[in-house]
Amino acid sequence: MAEFSPGRITPIILAGGSGTRLWPMSRSSRPKQFLPLMGAHSLFQVTLLRLAGDPRYGAPIVVTNSDYRFLVAEQAQDVGVAPDAIILEPVARNTAPAIAAAVAVVARGDAGRIVHVLPSDHLITVDDKYRAALDAAETAALAGALVTFGITPTEPATGFGYIEAGSENAAGGHKINRFVEKPDAERAAEMIAAGHYFWNSGMFVFAAQTLLDEAQALAPEILDAAQKAVAAAQTDLDFLRLDPDAFAAAPDISIDYAIFEKTTCGVVVPAAIAWSDLGSWDAVWKAGDHDSAGNVAQGPVTLRNVTSSLAVSEKLHVVIEGLSDIAVLASEDAVFVGRLSDAQAVGAVVRDLKADPTTSPLTETHLTSYRPWGGYASIHNGERFQVKRLFVKPGKRLSLQKHFHRAEHWVVVRGTAEVQLGDDVRILRENESIYIPQGARHRLSNPGKIELELIEVQTGSYLGEDDIIRFADEFGRS
């Protein structure tokens, strides 16, 4: 990272989570933050656009894991955002090491720089209260505080952690007494009644150097691991790949416990803002547009005599009749039906599905997979054949490859393809086709200006994605 983009605050977006509590939509290969849950853009893109609309921010730094690197790069590109860096965590170590590494990257450029650490998948309404809270946080951070935002609770929610605020300081912030894990209903009600507890938003504002100093004092092993991982990091295409051995040495701990609960310069800024972590389907329902019967419906859905329910469907037509407090979530290949008020149970459901080898793929992959060049959707699985729809972005090129066990028929249905087969290169237009024999070296490119779409019929005795030998690749995968 040569220098910072304009804007005085650097956002650090945490986009490495692999939660599956919004199953069947969220899966480990494409978790919640990368899904278009609340409109045309993914939550990650909504986050990028929210930051891009505020001149106080420079370009973001995104921290994610290696599996999501192309999703991050493409989704950012799609909304016209160029991150200052995309940092790849080699292993998951909770928020403290991830944030320490990102801050270490920032500090290489300007140790005094203010950063705003935030999750990639929360919904926030930008209004005067939000802007006022940010102003307060920035002021406190410039004065040397480690600031966290505490969302003013609107109900005794049991799905969030809480922050107990202590005495108030001059700028309207409060001392942080402690972090409280997700409470039961009784404890949540007590905290609401007490009035000095706030929802833990997972958003922080501080100067890079302040965090480094406090980490040095309170969690030196984290700082050491993070700094070594950054020092030995590899640049890989557009990504900064943290050193695996160094980063793996960091303890697995949240920044709340590692730093914020112990520091003497911690401040919680109360913020009475519209916020949701969309952490479960009932949170999605709360954040959605309700009809007069209190239902939220997305996609092809018909509701008859239904109240206080959530129905989301990607493709199938969902019909619900005569029920209340129901959640029906239909992806292309799975449907979840349960009580909306018990939507937290999806977590246990996914654990069960994961434990069974016949169902675990349903928690991992979608029928549509995204690749740096575009992607493919499985549209039919036969006995010794399968049919996929491939889509290739303008100007992109797949690897030069061959398969031992399958032949492929390609029919171009949209756009223009350039196909290398052996040493021969030819152009295929819409409605033209080509046959790729088993064992033949081949390479597919989209030389055009619009997306290339083709139907691929694979035939052979083994059709796994791992039957691929890559001879050359533009995305570091050969």
Can you spell out the DSSP letters for 212-257?
A: HHHHHHH-HHHHHHHHHHHHTPEEETTEEE--HHHHHTS----HII
Catalogue the long-range contacts made by 383-388 (C-beta closer than 8 Å, 24 or more residues apart): 384/459, 384/460, 384/461, 384/463, 385/457, 385/458, 385/459, 385/460, 385/463, 386/457, 386/458, 386/463, 387/455, 387/456, 387/457, 387/458, 388/455, 388/456, 388/458
C-beta of 216: minimal distance to a copy of itself in Å?
Answer: 47
Instruction: Report CA Rg, the chain.
Output: 24
For tokens 């278009």, the residue is: 36
Interaction between residue 452 and a copy of itself (CB under 8 A): no
C-beta of 272 vs 379, nearer to a copy of itself: 379
Can you spell out the DSSP letters for 456-477?
A: EEEEES---TT--EEEE-TTS-
Interaction between residue 339 and a copy of itself (CB under 8 A): yes
Interaction between residue 330 and a copy of itself (CB under 8 A): yes
| Stretch of 49-57, 133-141, 233-241, 347-355 contacting a copy of itself, by CB under 8 A | 347-355
Q: Contacts with a copy of itself: how many residues (CB under 8 A)? A: 53
List, in sequence order, every residue forming a beta bridge with 420; answer none if it has no partner: 425, 443
Per CB under 8 A, contacts with a copy of itself among 393-412 are: 407, 409, 411
Per CB under 8 A, contacts with a copy of itself among 11-30 are: 24
Torsion 150-151-155-160 (CA) sign? negative
C-beta of 191: minimal distance to a copy of itself in Å?
Answer: 27
Task: Encode burial over 347-368: b for 16+ CB neighbours within 10 A, e otherwise.
Answer: eebbeebbeeeeeeebbebbbb
Binder to a copy of itself among 56, 113, 354, 389 (CB under 8 A)? 389
Binder to a copy of itself among 320, 419, 428, 436 (CB under 8 A)? 320
Other Cβ atoms less than 10 A from the Cβ of 194: the count is: 9
Distance CA 361, CA 210 (A): 44
**And the tokens for 456?**
């691929």
Interaction between residue 58 and a copy of itself (CB under 8 A): no
* H-state helical runs in 41-184: 43-52, 69-78, 95-109, 128-142
C-beta of 353: minimal distance to a copy of itself in Å?
Answer: 7
Interaction between residue 461 and a copy of itself (CB under 8 A): no
Site string for a copy of itself, 267-306 (x = CB under 8 A): -----------------------------------x-x--
C-beta of 56 vs 409, nearer to a copy of itself: 409
Binder to a copy of itself among 382, 395, 439, 476 (CB under 8 A)? 382
Interaction between residue 262 and a copy of itself (CB under 8 A): no
Distance CA 343, CA 113 (A): 41
| Stretch of 45-53, 100-108, 262-270, 308-316 contacting a copy of itself, by CB under 8 A | 308-316
| Interior angle at CA 423, CA 419 and CA 429, nearest 5 | 20
Binder to a copy of itself among 354, 459, 463, 473 (CB under 8 A)? 459
Interaction between residue 348 and a copy of itself (CB under 8 A): yes
C-beta of 312: minimal distance to a copy of itself in Å?
Answer: 12
Question: Which residue type occupies 245?
Answer: D
Interaction between residue 354 and a copy of itself (CB under 8 A): no
Binder to a copy of itself among 131, 178, 317, 426 (CB under 8 A)? 317
Q: In terms of Cα–Cα distance, which of 413, 439, 435 is closest to 426?
A: 435
Those residues whose C-beta lies under 8 Å from the C-beta of residue 248, and which sit 6 or more positions away, are: 90, 91, 93, 225
| Stretch of 33-41, 185-193, 276-284, 310-318 contacting a copy of itself, by CB under 8 A | 310-318
C-beta of 196 vs 389, nearer to a copy of itself: 389
Classify 28 as helix, strand or coil: coil
C-beta of 352: minimal distance to a copy of itself in Å?
Answer: 7
Binding residues (CB under 8 A) for a copy of itself: these are: 24, 302, 304, 313, 315-323, 326, 328, 330, 333-339, 342, 345-346, 348-349, 352-353, 359, 362, 379-380, 382-385, 387, 389, 407, 409, 411, 413-414, 430-431, 433, 435, 453, 455, 457, 459
